[in-house]
Amino acid sequence: MSMSFRRLCWLFCCPPCTRSIASMIAFCPPDPTYTLIPDKSRSRWTLQLSERAEWQYSAREMRDIECFMTKTSRGNRIACMFVRCSPNAKYTQLFSHGNGCDLGQMSSIYIALASLLNCNIFSYDYSGYGASSGKPTETNMYADIDAAWTALRTRYGIPPEDIIIYGQSIGTVASVDLAARYKSAAVILHSPFTSGIRIAFPNKKKTCCLDAFPSIDKISQITSPVLIIHGMEDKIAPFSHGLTLFERCQRPVEPLWLEGAGHNDVYVYEEYYERLEQFITQELGNL
């Protein structure tokens, strides 16, 4: 997620201010870094990555990735990716990525996280991203994660108590919305923000009808344990947003406030991986 303060002010504060305009600016789909090639029955799809995907592994790891397409309630077809690190993994993360990448760019990160945490990862591209059809909008995003949740439950038979809902940046909006409606093993919010207007106006107290992405009004409805990870030098979604959401959680766990980290560099901090591993492999079973 990357935009200037000036653009945010125009987006969320200057009339005409609509949720559709917010979606146009908040979503920044890259040129696709992969293609999906179906077999004759369209039951299996072959993943082909471009050089821009920056794949860091061998063909052996590629065999651990399964891709397919599924349809949303709004008629779009979205690309899904299942990274299976181990047949005996207890948990599967339903991962909603940030606004400036697609599944191809995230594939190497998913392999690394899955291997480190012994946790399968299921992800998807928002409408208008990668191989997914349609346009990226707030409403489509909610339908996208609903379709991903349903596919994960029905195609792989994974029960809610074994699913960790994980959102990064704009993906936290979809994750909070889903987690407020369905109970899961846990929720992880990586660099979240409270709402669109509150990025431009941090002291805004009430949510107006035109405010986009209002996670602040939904997070208290989540009954699953919530881990929040936030860089304390985040200039896009300031640290105060993560703290505010933390204070509104029903079941917060010890957060990770990363000193020196910004919005897009949380992955480079060793503490990030240590906190995830501790939470998933040690704490979660006792909650």
What are 78's two structure tokens? 């979205």
Report the pLDDT averaged over residues 201-215.
Answer: 76
Query: Omega before 16 cis (within 30°)?
Result: yes
**Closest by Cα among 58, 109, 66, 105 to 87:** 66
CATH number at residue 33: 3.40.50.1820
* One-letter amino acid of 40: K
pTM for this model (two decimals): 0.91
pLDDT in tens, 94-128: 999 999 999 999 999 999 999 999 999 999 999 99
Q: What order of strands is seen across the sheet that includes strand 77-83?
A: 34-38, 45-49, 65-71, 77-83, 120-124, 92-96, 163-168, 186-190, 226-231, 256-258
Whether the pLDDT of residue 83 is over 70: the answer is yes
CA distance 18 to 209: 9
- Give residue 103's pLDDT: 98
- Number of structural domains (the chain) is 1
Rounded average pLDDT over 152-158? 96
The per-residue b/e assignment along 180-202, b for 16 or more CB within 10 angstroms, e otherwise, is: bebebbbbbbbbbbbbbbbbbee
Predicted confidence at residue 19, as pLDDT, reads: 57
What confidence score (pLDDT) does residue 266 get?
Answer: 97
How much is the pLDDT for 21?
54
Q: What are phi and psi of 129, to 5 degrees?
A: -110, 145
Average of per-residue pLDDT values in the chain: 91
The residue from 125, 144, 211, 234 that is catalytic is 234
Give which of 256, 285, 18, 277 is closest to 137, Cα–Cα: 18
pLDDT digits over 38-82, tens only? 988 777 899 999 999 999 999 999 999 999 999 999 999 999 999
Q: Are 189 and 171 in contact (CB under 8 A)?
A: no
Residue 3 has pLDDT above 90, yes or no: no
Q: What is the largest CA-CA distance in the chain?
A: 55
| Cα–Cα distance for residue pair 156/168, rounded to 1 Å | 23
The pLDDT assigned to 206 comes to 72
**87 pLDDT exceeds 90?**
no
Question: Which domain does 171 fall in, by range?
Answer: 5-286
- By percentage, how much of the chain surpasses pLDDT 70? 89
The predicted pLDDT at position 86 comes to 83
The band of 11, judged by pLDDT with boundaries at 50, 70 and 90, is very low
Q: Is 263 a catalytic residue?
A: yes
Three-class SS state of 113: helix
- 107, 169, 175, 184: the catalytic one is 169
Give phi and psi for 106, each to the nearest 5: -85, -10
58-62, 167-171, 225-229: range with lowest mean pLDDT: 58-62
Identify the pLDDT of residue 211: 74
What contacts 221, CB < 8 A, 6 or more positions away? 180, 181
Q: Name the 3-class secondary structure at 121.
A: strand
4 is catalytic: no
